[in-house]
């Protein structure tokens, strides 16, 4: 009898534990769904506003489903601002900047992670220290410097600094490189491969998830940059997409339907990039260690 009662108590305890585990997972999923809905609401409102007429944008109660649906907003948007030129200018600025900047950052991250040289750790500490400096502190000195270079009203201030790498990207890639076993590098050295060859043929392929993650983050940051182009670009033919959209807003009025329509179109490249690189993005975040 005692064994039967003990078995029943164990079964009851396991059932309670299983029920508690299921309830915990249900609560987690509910919170994730609510968080997802909260994140999606602004985007749904943006899409809804882009299909409204001007008179119903601020109607009370708010209209989530436009009536009537004004598809013409997207057509008129291209007549009001040069979206194609703005998008082309943006791509011409950020694609070479990100490509070269990621290569330089990866090379620096590999050096800090796997190479030994005098003052390496102190130099890396200084590099990390630059992350703590707010961009507003360097904004005016940087503008004066670029003005003396004759770079104002050109793309150079938006491109050349980024081509030398970013401290946060270097830190991220350095952490990833530190998780790669040293035995791979030692085996390559025994085979006669030089450090740059090891970097290109072994480290870069293994670090593809981390590099793709930084490519997505860098693209998103550069693509949505408004302050930099606003400071340095004066000629409308050199404006980026964000400046083109900002031109729809003035001190006296804002054409919200066109602004939202432009924002929906501007969002598409970022969504497509993340959709194609989502696997690398998640893998890069998951595999990057914090050792060192």
Domain membership of residue 64 (yes or no) is: no
Co-location of 201 and 278 in the same domain: yes
Count up the domains in the chain and report the number. 2
Give the count of alpha carbons within 13 A of 84, CB side only: 3
Place of tokens 């968080």: 35
Report CA-CA distances (Å) from 264 to 51, 83, 175, 247, 270.
11, 12, 35, 16, 11
Q: What is the Cα–Cα distance from 83 to 74, expressed in whole angstroms?
A: 11
Among candidate residues 35, 50, 65, the one where a domain is terminated: 50
49: nearest Cα among 264, 245, 241 = 264
User: Is 292 within a domain?
Assistant: no
Virtual torsion, Cα 106, 108, 114, 116, nearest 10 deg: 170
Shared domain check, 42 and 159: no
DSSP string, 93-157: HHHHHHHHHHHHHHHHHHHHHH---TTHHHHHHHHHHHHTS-HHHHHHHHHHHHHHHT-TTSSHH
DSSP string, 2-15: HHHHHHHHHHHHHH
Residue 287, pLDDT score: 57
Domain match, 92 and 132 both: yes
Dist. CA 211–CA 132, nearest whole Å: 23
Q: Looking at residue 290, what is its pLDDT?
A: 43
* HSE-CB of 162 using CA atoms within 13 angstroms: 21
Same domain flag for 160 and 245: yes
**In a domain? residue 272:** yes
Q: Does 94 lie in the same domain as 36?
A: no
202 and 233 both lie in a single domain: yes
Q: Which residues of 18-51 are buried (b: 16+ CB within 10 A; e: fewer)?
A: eeeeeeeeeeeeeeeeeeeeeeeeeeeeebbbbb
Separation of alpha carbons 43 and 63, rounded Å: 14
Rounded to 5°, angle at Cα 210 from 204 and 211: 60
- Does one domain contain both 191 and 243? yes
Classify 193 as helix, strand or coil: coil
**231 lies in a domain?**
yes
Position 114 in a domain: yes
What pLDDT, on the 0 to 100 scale, is given for residue 283? 64
Give the residue from 225, 233, 231 showing the smallest Cα distance to 153. Answer: 233
21 & 124 share domain: no
Same domain for 41 and 137: no
Structural domain contains residue 230: yes
Q: Which domain holds residue 131?
A: 73-287
Residues 158 and 43 in one domain: no
Q: Which residues of the chain have pLDDT under 70?
A: 1-17, 251-253, 280-292
Q: What is the model's pLDDT at position 184?
A: 86
- Tell me: do 116 and 213 sit in the same domain: yes
**Which structure tokens are listed for 95?**
């694609």
- Give the C-alpha separation, 264 to 43, whole Å: 8
CATH number at residue 257: 1.10.3720.10
Look at residue 106 in the predicted model and tell me its pLDDT. Answer: 93
pTM for this entry: 0.80
Which tens digit of pLDDT belongs to each residue from 19-45?
777 787 888 899 999 998 898 888 888
258 within domain boundaries: yes
219 inside domain: yes
Q: What is the dihedral of CA 40, 46, 47, 52, to 10 degrees?
A: 140
- Considering the domain architecture, whether residues 8 and 106 belong to the same structural domain is answered as no
pLDDT, one tens digit per residue, over 237-289 is 999 999 998 888 876 667 888 888 988 999 888 888 888 877 766 665 665 54
């Amino acid at each position: 009898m005692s064994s039967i009662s003990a078995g029943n108590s164990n079964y009851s305890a396991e059932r309670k534990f299983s029920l508690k585990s299921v309830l915990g997972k249900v609560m987690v999923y509910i919170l994730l769904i609510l968080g997802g809905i909260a994140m999606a609401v602004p985007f749904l409102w943006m899409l809804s506003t882009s299909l409204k007429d001007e008179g119903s944008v601020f109607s009370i109660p708010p209209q989530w489903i436009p009536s009537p649906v004004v598809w013409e907003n997207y057509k008129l948007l291209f007549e009001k601002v040069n979206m194609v030129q703005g998008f082309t200018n943006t791509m011409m600025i950020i694609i070479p900047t990100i490509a070269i900047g990621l290569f330089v950052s990866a090379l620096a991250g590999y050096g800090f992670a796997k190479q030994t040289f005098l003052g390496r750790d102190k130099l890396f500490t200084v590099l990390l220290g630059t992350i703590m400096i707010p961009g507003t502190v360097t904004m005016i000195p940087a503008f004066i410097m670029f003005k003396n270079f004759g770079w104002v009203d050109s793309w150079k201030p938006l491109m050349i600094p980024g081509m030398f790498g970013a401290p946060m990207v270097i830190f991220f890639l350095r952490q990833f490189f530190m998780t790669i076993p040293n035995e791979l590098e030692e085996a390559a050295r025994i085979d006669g491969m030089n450090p740059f060859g090891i970097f290109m043929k072994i480290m870069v392929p293994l670090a593809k998830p981390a590099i793709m993650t930084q490519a997505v983050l860098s693209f998103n940051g550069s693509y949505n940059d408004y302050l930099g182009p606003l400071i340095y670009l004066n000629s409308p033919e050199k404006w980026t997409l964000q400046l083109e959209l900002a031109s729809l807003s003035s001190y006296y009025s804002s054409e919200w339907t066109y602004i939202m329509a432009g924002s929906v179109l501007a969002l598409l490249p970022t969504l497509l990039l993340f959709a194609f690189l989502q696997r690398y993005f998640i893998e890069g975040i998951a595999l990057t260690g914090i050792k060192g």
